[in-house]
Amino acid sequence: MARKAGTELIKDQLTDDQDKKKKYYNKNVQFFKLIEKIKLWPSRAGVLHGVKSIEVNGKIAVVTTHCGEKFTVWNSRNSRSARWLRNKWCASTCNKCKIPQWKIKKYSSTMMTQKWGSNL
């Protein structure tokens, strides 16, 4: 009887893993649209910040984080921040921004593919 209970637990875990949906985004989507959608910003130190607002003016945008930092960003798919977001190279999250755990899980399960995916 112990084996039946163990197998049921494994089956429950498998269905939980299958229920988690992965989001697929196209790698070549515009950088500003990607930031507006996921609301995360990687700093040069490898820290992931939450984006409070983004103001787009042509090829330039002003990004404001939850920790109060403001900076100007160019719309470039090949930039450091775009590559770090697509490849998930960030090491930690900002303590001041207080990014919720569900957002980090959703970001980590998001896949960026070359051939197909949502164009936002």
Residue percentage of the chain with pLDDT more than 70: 80
Q: What is the pLDDT of residues 14-63, one digit of tens each?
A: 445 544 677 788 888 889 999 999 999 999 999 999 999 999 999 999 99
Contacts of 70-77 with CB under 8 Å at 24 or more apart are 73/31, 73/32, 73/35, 75/30, 75/31, 75/32, 76/31, 77/28, 77/30, 77/31
| Residue from 105, 98, 49, 100 nearest 73 by CA | 49
Q: Where are the domains of the chain?
A: 20-113
